Amino acid sequence: MKNFARRVLFFIFFIAFLLTAVYFGFDLKSNPYVLTKLEEPVLESEGRYIIPGGQTIGVELKTEGVLVVGLADIVNSENLSTSPAKLSGVHIGDKILEIDSLLVESTEDIIRYTEIEGVKTYIFKIEREGQTLYVSITPVQIYKSSEIKFGFWARDDIAGIGTVTFVDPETGKFSAIGHGISDSDTGNLIDIKSGTIKKANITSIKLGKKGEPGEIIGYILKNEDSLGYVENNTDFGIYGSINKKSMGYFSRNLLEVGRKEEIKLGPAQIYSCVNNEIQKYDIEITKVFYQNKPDEKSFVIKIVDDDLLQLTNGIIQGMSGCPVIQNNKIVGAVTHVFMNDPTKGYGIYIEWIFEEIYGATQ
C-alpha cells in the first residue's frame, strides 16, 4: 500500500513538473533557468536598449607599474653566469611598483634611474598575488661592457585586436573582447592604469584549424583619434567610455538586452567585421549552462554560416566580443573557441557583462 501511495505521489509530481514546463514554454534541456526565472532579481540590463557592436578595434593598454614577464641569466664582468633577480626571489608575474621609493610607470623609469646610480643594491616594491613585497636586488655589469642588468624582462604596455560587444547610448559605456586580457607570457589578467580603443584595419585572416586557433591579422590606426578610453580590464572583457565625437561611428539600430532565461537552443546570429564591414552571420546555440554566479563560459555556440566558415573556418582570435543575437535581442558575447573544433566556442551571458560594468561603477 505504501509503495502504491509513493507511486501515485511521484506520478502527480511528474505531471505537475511537465505542466509547469509546458506553461512556461521551456524545458530544462533548452534552458536550465525555467524553474528559477521568477525568483531572479531584476538586473541593470532589464528593459534596456543598446547599440550592438561587431566593429573590429585596436586596444592599447598601459599597465599599472611594470610587469615581470621573464627571468634571464646574465654573464657578468667575471665571465660567470648569474641572475640577480632570480636569486633575490623575483617571480614571473610580479608587478614592479617602485624602485628606491621612486614610482615606476614604465621600463624606461628603471633604465634611466639605474644608469645614473650604477651598481648598488636597489629596493624594489613589488606586488604579487595581491600582496606587497620589498625585494633587494644588486645588478651585475655585463661581461666586457659598462651596461648593468638585473636579469629580468619587463613590459609596461600591451596592444591587440578585438571586437566591440555593445555601446550603451544612455551612459556612453562600451564593452569589448568578452574575456579578460591576460599577459601572453605570464597568463595573468593585466592590471591596467589606462587604455584606449582605436579603429583597426584588417589585412588578412589566418584560418582556424583543429589544435591551432585562427587569427585576425591587422594593425591599429595609430594616427587617428581614439574612439574611447578603457577604464577596466575584467574577466568578462574590457569596458570604458566612448568619446562623444565618436558615438556616430557606433550609430546603429538599438536592440533590447535579452536575459539568460530567454535564451533557447537553436538559431541565433553574431555581428562581426572580419570582412572589414559589419555583417550578421548565422550560428546555433547548442548548450546553455546554469550559472548562479558570473562566468565567461555561459553557453556553447556553433558557426553554421557558410560565408563566415569560408572566411575564417570558424571562431578565430579577434572575434572575441562579437555580440550574440537571438530573437532580435542581444543575449551574450563570444568569448573562447574550442581548440579541437574551431566551428564551436563559448559565449557569456550579456547580463554578466552588465553586472560587471554597472555593479563596479555604482
Residues belonging to the active site: 179, 305, 320
- Which grid coordinates belong to 12? 502527480
Residue 71 to residue 63: CA distance in whole angstroms = 19
Collapse the DSSP code of 2 into the 3-class scheme (helix H, G, I; strand E, B; otherwise coil) and give the result.
helix
Strand partners, 349: 332
Of 195, 249, 221, the closest CA to residue 64 belongs to: 195
Residue 298 to residue 333: CA distance in whole angstroms = 10
Cβ atoms within 10 Å, residue 251: 9
Instruction: Judge whether 118 and 125 are in contact, CB under 8 Å.
Output: no
Of 58, 50, 328, the closest CA to residue 172 belongs to: 50
Contacts of 189 (CB under 8 A, 6+ apart): 180, 181, 182, 233, 234, 235
Residue 286 to residue 267: CA distance in whole angstroms = 9
- Which grid coordinates belong to 267? 538559431
